[in-house]
Amino acid sequence: MPELPEVETVRRTLEQLVAGKTIRSVAVHLPRIIQRPDDKAVFCAMLEGRTIQTVERRGKFLRILLDGLVLVSHLRMEGRYGVYKAGEAVGKHTHVVFHFTDETELRYKDVRQFGTMHLFKPGEDLSQPPLNKLGIEPLDESFSYASFRDTVAGKGTKIKPLLLNQEYVVGLGNIYVDEALHKARIHPERPAESLTKTELQALHAAIVSTLLEAVEAGGSSIKSYVNGQGEMGMFQQQLAAYGRKDEPCPHCGEAIVKTVLAGRGTHFCPSCQVLKPKRIARKHT
Ligand SMILES: [Zn+2]
């Protein structure tokens, strides 16, 4: 499932490929991808003649800004965009095609068919579902230590599920939550309210640096990220904890453990990330 860095990489690539292109017509082959408006014919008619201006992102959602409309797109598990020349063979699982006036087309493929598209007038999308309840953007200037502390403070929820909840901080999924908690040396089951100021500061910094590194890794590999068919997919960057069960922790060498927390595979170092931190004995001098 793409998380913030993958969606950000798709956003950058997509913007390079489609900004300035004008839609001549749209074909929808799987109506349930289109969540708003209800009628796919209306969706297609609304987009005809519109020019794509920029592609933005809110959490894990893409916001494709056109003149007079905003198309909100969520890739969910397997959604992919690709730009093709008109007439090129159409691959399996192609559900939506945006035909441009320059004889190219943007195709949306989705093997799992979980992706969604919502169409709004400008200014309406951020105050309505699915974007209205999203929390702070961790790569935005507004994500200060103070705003993070206020989001987490006093909550009895375990820190990992809290970070996965998009109503608090957006864009983090299973991979980057495990990575940020490992980097900050915090056990994923610690109640949020039990974190000390030092731990919260470390976690805030770890979230930002983990995401930035991943965005940079994606950003620097944009060319390889678009495959021969012009498809944009996910990239894997070097991970320290996630997916590394039984491998040595890069900090201490202890074997990474995998458990299940709130139904999600969870990776951590049992030595660096302890559930009940020992009190540091004060030296009496
Ligand atoms: Zn360790």
In this model, does residue 221 exceed pLDDT 50? no
CA pair distance 206, 208, nearest whole angstrom: 5
- The matching CATH number, chosen from 1.10.8.50, 3.40.50.1860, 2.40.50.100, 3.40.50.300, for 145-268 is 1.10.8.50
Instruction: Return d(Cα 247, Cα 225) in angstroms, integer.
Output: 27
pLDDT in tens, 67-104: 999 999 999 888 889 999 999 999 999 999 999 999 99
Task: Read off the pLDDT of residues 25-74 as tens digits, 9 standing for 90 and up.
Answer: 999 999 999 999 999 999 999 999 999 999 999 999 999 999 999 999 99
CA atoms within 13 A on the CB side of 129: 4
Question: Is 3 in the active site?
Answer: yes
* Catalytic status, residue 277: no
Residues contributing to the annotated binding site? 93, 112, 155
Share of the chain above pLDDT 90, in %: 76
CA of 263 to the centre of ligand 1 (A): 23
Average pLDDT over residues 172-194: 95
Per the CATH hierarchy, to which homologous superfamily does domain 4-127 belong? MutM-like, N-terminal (3.20.190.10)
The DSSP-derived string for 69-107 is EEEEEE-TTT-EEEEEETTSPPPTTEEEEEEETTSEEEE
Helix (H) or strand (E) holding 213: helix 197-220
pLDDT value for 213:
85
Q: What is the mean pLDDT of the chain?
A: 90
Binding residue positions for DNA: 93, 112, 155
Dihedral sign of CA atoms 49, 80, 141, 154 in order? positive
Backbone phi, then psi, for 35, in 5-degree steps?
-95, -20
> Taking 50 as the threshold, does the pLDDT of residue 222 lie above it?
no
Gap from CA of 186 to ligand 1 centroid (Å): 11
Domain boundaries, the chain: 4-127, 145-268
Per cent of the chain over pLDDT 70 is 89
pLDDT digits (tens, 9 = 90+) for 234-273: 455 578 999 899 999 999 999 999 999 989 999 999 999 9
11 is catalytic: no
Query: Under DSSP, is residue 119 helix (H, G, I), strand (E, B) or coil?
Result: strand
Dihedral pair phi/psi, residue 97, rounded to 5°: -130, 125
Q: Determine the pLDDT at residue 44.
A: 98
- From the number of C-beta atoms within 10 Å of its C-beta (0-12, 13-18, 19+), residue 113 rates as middle
Q: For residue 277, what pLDDT is reported?
A: 67
Rounded-to-integer distance, Cα 230 and Cα 266, Å:
33
Identity of the amino acid at 168: Y
Contact present, 183 and 172 (Cβ < 8 Å): no
Tell me which H or E stretch contains 259.
Answer: strand 257-261
Query: Matching CATH topology for 4-127 and 145-268?
Result: no
How far, in Å, from the CA of 173 to the mean position of ligand 1?
21
pLDDT at 9 (0 to 100):
84
Q: Pick the catalytic residue: 3, 8, 105, 179?
A: 3
> Looking at residue 5, what is its pLDDT?
85
